[in-house]
Each structure stands twice: as structure tokens, then as C-alpha cells.
Amino acid sequence: MDLSRSWSGWTCVVAALVLAGGCRKADKGGRAAPAAATATTVDASGGDAAPAKPTPPTPLTKKATKPGAAALGHNALLPLGDLAAASAAAGRGRFVLRYDGSDSATRALVRQAGVLEKILPQLNQSLRLPRDIAVVYAACDEINAFYDPEAVTITMCDEYVDYYGELFAGYPADERQPAILGAVVSTFLHEAGHALIHQLGLPTVGREEDVADQLSTVILVASGDEGNALALDGAYAFIDESEGEVDDTPYWDEHALNEQRFYNTVCLIYGSDPEGWDDLVGEDDLPEERAEQCPDEYKQISTSWNRLLKPFLTVPTVRVKLGE
């Protein structure tokens, strides 16, 4: 995708959900406990078989980019605010990042980029959490990422991170790392949605996996051009993952089909700024019939998240800066 890959801030604006449970990504069986190995803690105060390597999607051509929808005032319920400068209040919960075991090549790439090291301290300043939420990179013996409500832990399995490295192995060198980071960040924000539902007791009348996807996308869309690029990389990961799944489609699963998750994500991106993202509409990406509904869809979802999170924010809207 021909998009700027630089990091900048994102604005957390949020939609409705169910009481929590863990997220199952690839393997639908019981969770394997993360391997207990040498642990490195970062202070953040502040199976199914993997498909064959896909052909990278056709690059998109986008017009000159604009600020994210929240910055443009589309999320009118809460004005965009600056991140609180003060540290998280004493006694408040926080996301705590930890690396268990040794780094694979792909995990080392993600760790060196430091995306979660930048995201978590700002979440901690902006959200009133009742208790700590561990965020752990660890071996799981399965390709998965999940939130465990009993352990109050988000686990990013090493096998899942490595899977993304393999999934995007055929990408050009300058696009492979952004694609991996986009998929990892989208997945983390999805799992963070499950954690917030559980820890904050947020209500919903929809399927939790769908609304967790919505949270991830709305956060990234609100980040502006860099966040949109990450959201698109996450969306194309769904398409890449779906290669070879036609005869094995799990219609019973709590997740939407990968193709549906792709279209839902692209719809929110387009709906946030139809003029800026008009190149997404067409046979290859977003059909016109769906595109017509996307502006209202984005407005409804982003406003719902704003209303739900407002009582738990220390700022009008969370802004996370990922750039230098």
C-alpha cells in the first residue's frame, strides 16, 4: 500500500460491547498457558494450520491525506483533548507489558519498533482502570492472541506474531514491517477491547468479537493517516489469512468470517472521511452498495464508544502519540 508509514497519535473513541470473555483467534480449543520462561517487564506506567503465504494485495492509491475523523470534529460528542501530562494516579490500575522467553526474529522486530511501549503509558494516563492488566508476549503452543478475564491478562502469543512474519514474507522489504506492525497493533487493540469490556463492565447488545474489531478500527481511524495505514494493514491481514479457508469455513465461530471483518474495517475507514478515501470504493475493495451506509455506520459506532468510555477517561478523548 502506498501510504505514509510514520507513527503519530491516535484518539481512543469507543462503541458498545458484551461482558467479557477471551478472544479466540486461530485455534478454537482450550487456551494453552503461556510458557513460564525468563521474563522481562517493561514499566508502562505511564489450531488451525496457518494458510500458505499469500500474494500481497494490490497497492491502493490514495489522495492527499487528512487528519483523522476525530481531529476533524466528526466525533462531536467529545471534543479532542490533549493527553494529560500527569502520571497515572496512585492506586489506579495500569497496563503492564512483559516479554516472557526469548525473541524470535519477528518478535524482535516488533519489540524494537516499541509500539506497545509507546501506547501503554498513554493509555494508563488516560483511562481509570480498577486493576492492572498484564500484556504478555509469550509462547502458547498455538497461533493465538487472547484476553483471559480470570488472569486479567492479554496474551500475544509468540506463535501468532511469528505467523504474521510468515504471512507477510512475500511483501516488498519496505512494506513487510509496516504490515506486521499494523496486524499486531490491530490485534492488541482488539484484545484491549475485550479487557475494557470486562474490567469496566461495559454493556453491549452485539457480538463481542465484532465490537472489539470496531474499537480497534475506530481508535486507528482517529489517529489520522498513520492510524488509517495501520488499520488497512490489519484489514488486509484478514484477506491474507482467509487464503485456503474456503472448504474449512467455521460458520459456527464467534468471530465474523475474515472477509466480513475486512469489509467491516474498510467501511469504517471510508465512512470516517468519504471524500479522502473515495479510492477505497470499487469492486476490489468496498462495493458501492455498502459504501453508501458507511458514513452513518462510522458515526453511530464512534459515538457509541465515546458515550461508553466517557466516565472512565481522565481527558475528554484519549490521544496517543507514536511518533518521535
Please state the length of the chain.
Answer: 324
* 4 domain-assigned: no
What is the Cα–Cα distance from 46 to 126, expressed in whole angstroms?
9
Query: What single DSSP character describes residue 19?
Result: S
Q: Which CB contacts under 8 angstroms, 24+ apart, belong to 234-237?
A: 234/182, 234/183, 234/185, 234/186, 234/187, 234/265, 235/261, 235/262, 235/265, 235/266, 235/269, 236/1, 236/57, 236/179, 236/262, 237/164, 237/167, 237/179, 237/182, 237/183, 237/186
What is the Cα–Cα distance from 79 to 141, expressed in whole angstroms?
44
Residue 24 has what pLDDT? 42
Q: Roughly what angle, to the nearest 10 degrees, separates helices 225-242 and 173-200?
A: 90
* 56 domain-assigned: no
Residue 112 corresponds to which amino acid?
Q
What is the Cα–Cα distance from 120 to 104, expressed in whole angstroms?
22
What is the Cα–Cα distance from 36 to 55, expressed in whole angstroms?
36
Residue 320 has what pLDDT? 66
If one counts every other C-beta atom within 10 angstroms of the C-beta of residue 244, the result is 12
What is the Cα–Cα distance from 55 to 33, expressed in whole angstroms?
33
Number of structural domains, the chain?
A: 1
pLDDT less than 70: residues of the chain = 1-91, 242-256, 317-320, 322-324
Residue 39 has what pLDDT? 56
* 122 domain-assigned: yes
Residue 15 has what pLDDT? 37
| Dihedral sign computed on CA atoms, order 286, 287, 292, 294 | negative
CB 301 within 8 A of CB 268: yes
Residue 250 has what pLDDT? 55
* 60 domain-assigned: no
CA distances from 173 to 165, 168, 179, 229 (A): 12, 10, 10, 17
Average pLDDT score over the chain? 74
Strand partners, 16: none
Strand partners, 250: none
Global pTM value: 0.73
Give backbone dihedrals phi and psi of 281, rounded to 5 degrees, phi first.
Answer: -85, 125
Residue 267 has what pLDDT? 94
Q: Which domain holds residue 241?
A: 10-24+32-46+67-319
